[in-house]
Structure 1
Amino acid sequence: MTSSIRLRHLFAAVTLSCLSMSCFSAFASEFSQSYTAYKQAVAEKNSELALKYAGEAYELGSVQFGAKSLDTATLALNYATALEVQDQKEQANSLYLLALEVYQSSHGEDALEVLDPLIGAAQTSSNPKTARSLFEDAIDISSDAENRILHADTLSAAFTTLSKTRLYNRKIRNYALDGYEIYKEELPQDSLTRVKAAYIAGSIHFVEKKNSRAIPLLNEVVKQFSALNYTHPYELKAHAYLVELYEREGESDKSTEHCIAIGSMRPWLDDQEQVPLYRQPPEYPLSYVRRGKSGWAEVSFLVDELGFVKEPKILDSEGGSKFSDESIKALKQWRYAPKFVDGSPIAAETRVRMEFTIERKR
């Protein structure tokens, strides 16, 4: 990003300036050592050391360049990023805002250079409305840039942060969908950024029950992640979503391959309880509702090699036989990931307890 490029230039300028004046003081040397250690920590992806040396370089740079200099603001941006990685958002936010003020003063409020501190300040703000305002400014700036990937990155960052707040609405939802459309046009199919964006777009359509839009997106996610030599959490979740999507469409044969895929990815334990990937709640017997009856039914059954429920049997129940009947009827529609042993799916017994409860008005 912009900050890392600027910092490399900053370091070269400081070194050349001091050498030309023969004034490489002990103080300047200490800054140089801290900044070099910071760059090394970043290269080695050592977040704890990056935080330590980013802090040291910022404190030393503040004295050497001045608290309001552009160089110090760039060091503040680095320090803020390291703090954010360690989830120290309050302190990071203060530094992002400091850097933002200096960047806007030096480059102009609508300059591309202000995007890094602007987005950083938005991501670390404790006030959702402030975060939304900052992101809107960032999106306005990135939309005018020639770099469409940069705009998609900004939209995605805004969605990731704001979708977790009470402000989530259709506009924020569209940030993710619009970002994905750009990635789809600009990036190859196997780009991890594009695949992750496809997963998010597919998840949005899944929640909104737009099956025909969700299915191709999530299948693309599964296809791309299947080429990896490790299991990505998005791949597992995409398979799980596809199980439910195909069951919604009444296409159990298509959901089966995803049940099996999930089962093959899991490290199964002998006593591990199987968790349903798709479930239909049992119907509450109308006659029992009228009478205010509550109860439960405990059922054992086999999950076969394809993830279907077989041979359900009532182990115990309370409240009436209709609870048992409805429990079995519902369970026959459930889907599971089959258990794997030595690389092959097997039938395995499990059990569930169905609760039927009527909340009484006080």
Structure 2
Amino acid sequence: MKLVAAACLALALAAPVAAQGLPASVSEPYRAYQTAMEAGDDAAALDPAYRAWQAAEAAGVDAETTGLLADNYAALASAAGQHEQAAAAFARSAEILADTEGGTLLTAQTWRLSAEQYFRGDDENLARRMADRALAILQRLPATREAAAERYRTETVLAYAEYERGRIRQTAPHARNALDALGLVGPISNMDTANMAFFAGIGAAIDYESPDSAFYFTLASYMYAAAGADVDTRRVAEAWARYGRSELDEDERITLFRRLRETEYRPPECENPDDCDLTVGEGLNFPPEAEVVDASPISRREPRYPLDMAQRGLQGVALVMFSVDEDGRPFDIEAIYSVPHPDFGEVSVEAVERWRYTPLLVDGEPTPREGIVTQFIFQLHD
């Protein structure tokens, strides 16, 4: 939508300036902008684009033209990494649209573009404010595919803004809303969607909602794999999904797999949906005839709350992976995820170091047990 609007402006102002009735203070920098754009020199176009917009504001040029000039500058500023300036220009364009067109999809989109730029410029507070304005419009629009796609993008910005502020619990509702919006759009496997599934999984884990936690983390693991995420990211999602599934009873597992099949997301190696194994990597890998008794905990104490985190009022979550040796002692202990601060992972590792297990027995022989996963939820109470 924004690219179309910018293209239309370029075509309109290619006509004689006198026909448009624009003052020279606007038309002259605009011609310089247009010349630079035609030469493919975005850097040279940036300053005249800004001057044309500002001159239009000062001269009281009609709102539509002023808004489109603001859009032109915003797009160039964004490409140049000047995110704060781009955000302000998109916000001005959105204000003009709100005054002239009201609560349209284009107005919501422009507020969201401003929010994205503020977020990229590390201003989560303004990002949230702009996204909230977009969301207020979207909630009043008919439930079309286009509106749903815009709501997905807007909720994604809000989720990222909350996550960057360390507000883990507040992140999850926006992540779930983003995923729900895709119901009208269709399945999308990219890093943003995978992150939304991951954030929704964290929210469910914090609330000890194992069925939802298993569902969202399993989805995230599929999406990360399809999007080509790095090995560490996939490892965390897959481990947390495995932990969530391990907490389910048989009926809950059946429900989980039904929900997964209904989403149309699959492991990337799964060509035929009817033959998909949705529990890849599940269980212990021993011959079926082996007599296996899994390791089980004897002594497990919860980690202490990190003092500095408590004093700062921060709540957190950590995911720890470890193995158990033939004597029942944990080893290879690693905090593979810790938010919003590494301290939560550090105290979790310290706690697991003191845990004790009965060893894994294979045909009566103590055997190292690898790949155990556990989560720790740190919450402050009044």
CA distance, structure 1, for counterparts of residue 113 and residue 15 of structure 2 = 31
For 1:137-174, what per-residue CA distance to the aligned partner results, in whole angstroms no more than 9, with x for missing partners?
Answer: 3112112143322222222222222444477766x642
In the alignment, what sits opposite 1:309? Answer: 324
Does the residue aligned with 1:186 lie in a helix, a strand or coil? coil
Matched, 1:31 2:33: yes
Moved more, 154-163 or 67-76: 67-76
Q: Which of the pair has more CA radius of gyration?
A: 1
Contact 1:115/1:141, CA 8 A, preserved across alignment: yes
Contact 1:77/1:95, CA 8 A, preserved across alignment: yes
In the alignment, what sits opposite 1:150? Answer: 150
**Aligned length in residues:** 274
- How do 1:342-357 and structure 2 match up within 5 A? none
CA drift of 1:77 comes to 3.4
For 1:220-240, what per-residue CA distance to the aligned partner results, in whole angstroms no more than 9, with x for missing partners?
Answer: 332344345664765333123
Contact 1:34/1:56, CA 8 A, preserved across alignment: no
Q: Structure 2 length as normaliser, TM-score?
A: 0.53
CA distance, structure 2, for counterparts of residue 120 and residue 280 of structure 1 = 54
Pick from 54, 65, 68: which aligns with 1:71?
65
Q: Cα 1:137–1:233, aligned 2, differ >3 Å: closer, same or farther?
A: farther
Q: Structure 1 length as normaliser, TM-score?
A: 0.56
Does the residue aligned with 1:257 lie in a helix, a strand or coil? coil
Pick from 254, 257, 261: which aligns with 2:281?
257
CA distance, structure 1, for counterparts of residue 230 and residue 85 of structure 2 = 35
- How do 1:172-187 and structure 2 match up within 5 A? 173-187=172-186
In the alignment, what sits opposite 1:119? Answer: 112
CA drift of 1:55 comes to 4.2
CA distance, structure 1, for counterparts of residue 298 and residue 111 of structure 2 = 46
Contact 1:179/1:197, CA 8 A, preserved across alignment: yes
Contact 1:142/1:154, CA 8 A, preserved across alignment: no
CA distance, structure 2, for counterparts of residue 101 and residue 314 of structure 1 = 59
Contact 1:243/1:256, CA 8 A, preserved across alignment: no
CA distance, structure 1, for counterparts of residue 64 and residue 47 of structure 2 = 17
Matched, 1:9 2:8: yes
Q: Cα 1:29–1:139, aligned 2, differ >3 Å: closer, same or farther?
A: closer
CA drift of 1:9 comes to 0.9
CA distance, structure 2, for counterparts of residue 280 and residue 30 of structure 1 = 76
Q: Cα 1:236–1:314, aligned 2, differ >3 Å: closer, same or farther?
A: closer
Q: Cα 1:79–1:183, aligned 2, differ >3 Å: closer, same or farther?
A: same
Q: Cα 1:83–1:229, aligned 2, differ >3 Å: closer, same or farther?
A: same
CA drift of 1:15 comes to 1.7
Q: Cα 1:118–1:85, aligned 2, differ >3 Å: closer, same or farther?
A: same
Amino acid at match of 1:197: M
Identity of aligned residues (%): 14
Matched, 1:57 2:72: no
CA drift of 1:32 comes to 1.0
In the alignment, what sits opposite 2:197? Answer: 198
CA distance, structure 1, for counterparts of residue 353 and residue 162 of structure 2 = 41
In the alignment, what sits opposite 2:356? Answer: 329
CA distance, structure 1, for counterparts of residue 175 and residue 203 of structure 2 = 9
Contact 1:199/1:238, CA 8 A, preserved across alignment: yes
CA distance, structure 1, for counterparts of residue 82 and residue 91 of structure 2 = 15
CA drift of 1:6 comes to 0.5
Contact 1:61/1:72, CA 8 A, preserved across alignment: yes
Amino acid at match of 1:142: L
For 1:274-321, what per-residue CA distance to the aligned partner results, in whole angstroms no more than 9, with x for missing partners?
Answer: xxxxx999549xxxxxxxxxxxxxxxxxxxxx9743356899xxxxxx
CA distance, structure 2, for counterparts of residue 100 and residue 179 of structure 1 = 22
CA drift of 1:207 comes to 3.3
Amino acid at match of 2:356: K
